[in-house]
Amino acid sequence: MKFRVTSRNGLVKFRTSVRGELRVGKPGFMYYAGEGVSLDYKEAEKWFLLAAEQGEQISQTCLGAMYATPQGVSQNYEAALKWYQKAAEQGNALAQFDLGGMHADGRGVPQDYKIAVKWWHKAAGQGFTAAQFSLGVMYAAGKGGLAKDDTEAFFWLTFGASMKSRFANSPFANAYDQVAANLTPVRYLQNSCTE
């Protein structure tokens, strides 16, 4: 990604070649990855914060991740939720998925599968495979206000099947196989036709 630097009123602005949109957060990525500058998480946080306060959803998502994991900053679930929420409301699929994960795990909020499912549905609708896989698991288990539904679970797990290897050592590892084993082609068609 190419960018150029301009300065006006003492604020450094970065303009990318992608649609010419303002990307104040670009230095945050540079400091976070040590790309062209020394790796410096505090400096990355500063730039991400500047961009996030201007509504840049990618920087908001990055701040959420930095505070949730924590990566180079002190763990702060309240701040992570705040930035994920802002980006998720703008339609950022990664933020929607991560916000759902925080609610599913009860990190910084009481555990609430219904809220997790709400955000995962939004991300899954945008093709975010991790959210699709997570929805499949929730339908298979009948959690988050969802009725246990092997047909729906199979549908979402099929889309999110590429995520299966990421969960190899988790309780979700066999979700796809279990649902698929219980759902014969005849049963799948019967369930599909009766809905």
Q: Residues 44-78: pLDDT tens digits?
A: 999 999 999 999 999 999 999 999 998 889 999 99
Residue 7 pLDDT > 60, yes or no?
no
Note if the pTM is more than 0.85. no
The confidence score (pLDDT) of residue 11 equals: 35
- Give the CA radius of gyration of the chain: 20
Say what the pLDDT of residue 159 is.
73
23 vs 74: which has the higher pLDDT: 74
Q: Tell whether the torsion through CA atoms of 146, 139, 122 and 171 is positive or negative.
A: positive
pLDDT the model gives residue 130 = 86
- Out of 74, 90, 106, pick the residue that ends a domain: 90
Q: List phi, psi (to 5°) of 155.
A: -55, -55
Q: Do both 100 and 82 map to the same domain?
A: no
Name the E strands within 62-179: none
Task: Provide the CATH number for the domain around residue 107.
Answer: 1.25.40.10
Q: Are residues 72 and 134 in the same domain?
A: no
Number of domains, the chain: 2
Based on the fold, state whether residues 73 and 104 are members of the same structural domain: no
Two tokens, residue 117: 């499912």
Question: What is the mean predicted confidence (pLDDT) over 174-189?
Answer: 56
Comparing CA positions, the residue from 93, 69, 96 lying closest to residue 80 is 69
Q: 98 and 77: one domain?
A: no
Q: Are 161 and 81 within one domain?
A: no
Host domain of residue 179: 93-195
Rounded CA-CA distance 120/19 in Å is 28
Residues of the chain with pLDDT > 90, as a percent, come to 44
Last residue of a domain, one of 54, 71, 90: 90
Whether 18 has a pLDDT exceeding 90, the answer reads: no
108 close to 78: Cβ distance less than 8 angstroms: yes
125 and 61 housed in the same domain:
no
Bridge partners of 22, per DSSP, are: 15
Paired with 13 in beta bridges are: 6
From 90, 112, 144, give the residue that closes a domain. Answer: 90
Residue 180 is predicted with a pLDDT of 59
How far the first Cα of the chain sits from its last, in Å, is 47
Supply 93's token pair: 């699929």
Do residue 123 and residue 174 come from a single domain?
A: yes
pLDDT at 114 over 90: yes
Based on the fold, state whether residues 109 and 159 are members of the same structural domain. yes
**Are 43 and 134 in a shared domain?**
no
pLDDT for 137 equals 86
Distance (Å, rounded) from C-alpha 96 to C-alpha 84? 7
CA angle 95, 100, 106 (to 5 degrees): 125
- Band of pLDDT at residue 83, cut at 50, 70 and 90: very high
Distance CA 62, CA 48 (A): 7
The answer to whether residues 88 and 121 touch, using CB atoms and an 8 Å cutoff, is no
For residue 94, the number of C-alpha atoms closer than 13 Å in the C-beta half-sphere is 10
Residues 105 and 175 in one domain: yes
Mean pLDDT lowest among 8-12, 106-110, 138-142:
8-12
Do 77 and 128 share a domain, yes or no?
no
Q: State the chain's mean pLDDT as an integer.
A: 78
User: Both 132 and 175 in a single domain?
Assistant: yes
